Amino acid sequence: MNDNIIEEQKKGTTTVGVVTKDSVIMATEHRATMGNFIAHKTTQKLFKVDENMGMTVAGLVGDAQLLVRYLKAEVALYKLKQNKQVTIDSASTLLSNILVSNRYYPYYAWVLLGGVDKNGGHVYSIDPAGGSIEDKFVSTGSGSMFVYGVLEDYYKADMSTNDAIDMVIRGLTAAMKRDSASGDGMSIAVISDKEFKELTDDEIKKRITKLKLN
């Protein structure tokens, strides 16, 4: 595969993770691209890992899906053996170790891992080389600069889940308007220590209308 195509596939998307006072919001848009070609308009980039944990992926579809399967299997196995949920920090370390062990034949995928455990809400940005950084809000992909413009303006450490959802919608909308590799709708999940809940398309559309972003 042409190196330029790999680079475009690796960067062409927009994902975001945000920690609120009582939840974590994870979100993506739906478009998949190969260079300037729109390859798919309903790509799944947001995944449930456990009841209290989710992840978003940006990069080559095959690599991203494999990492999702690895993490889901390891988290389920830990839960079965220990009879408790793995912490978000431990899950991020596990995923980081998987990526580090393959650094010379890397997975072309950038992951956001987020969730809520006994220590509160967390969002980690994990790069293809295995670097893992925790933050209160993170965005990845080619549309991330537009999302960060919104997050820097609106984010507050004690913001409610409702306000955070609206903020994320504003950010993804800005990215989809200006980044050609991002578009075709969005997926948004609200994660608590007990529930991973995705918003329906109707719920998202109503919020977009209310925010006058149409």
- Dump pLDDT digits (tens) for 191-208: 999 999 999 999 999 999
Entry field: residues in the chain:
214
Give me Rg for the CA atoms of the chain: 16
Q: Residue 7: its pLDDT value, please?
A: 42
Say how many C-beta atoms besides its own lie within 10 A of residue 95's C-beta.
24
Sheet holding 46-50, edge to edge: 46-50, 53-59, 109-117, 120-126, 132-135
Question: Residues 13, 15, 33, 140: which is the catalytic one?
Answer: 13
Q: Residue 106: its pLDDT value, please?
A: 85
pTM of the model: 0.90
Q: Residue 178: its pLDDT value, please?
A: 85
Q: Is 209 in the active site? A: no
Cβ proximity of 167 and 6 under 8 Å: no
Residue type present at position 67: L
Quick one: tokens of 12? 């062409």
Quick one: tokens of 72? 């889901």
Give the domain extent around 32.
Answer: 3-210
Number of domains in the chain: 1
Cα–Cα distance for residue pair 91/142, rounded to 1 Å: 26
Q: Residue 12: its pLDDT value, please?
A: 67
Q: Residue 6: its pLDDT value, please?
A: 39
Cα–Cα distance for residue pair 55/19, rounded to 1 Å: 13
**Who's near 154: CB < 8 A, 6+ residues apart?**
163, 167, 170
Phi, psi for residue 144 in degrees, rounded to 5: -65, -30
Strand partners, 17: 26, 138
Q: Residue 182: its pLDDT value, please?
A: 77
Low-confidence ranges of the chain (pLDDT < 70): 1-12
Q: Residue 33: its pLDDT value, please?
A: 76
Residue 29's SS3 state is strand
CATH code, 26: 3.60.20.10
DSSP string spanning 37-49?
Answer: EEEESS---EEEE
Q: Residue 181: its pLDDT value, please?
A: 72
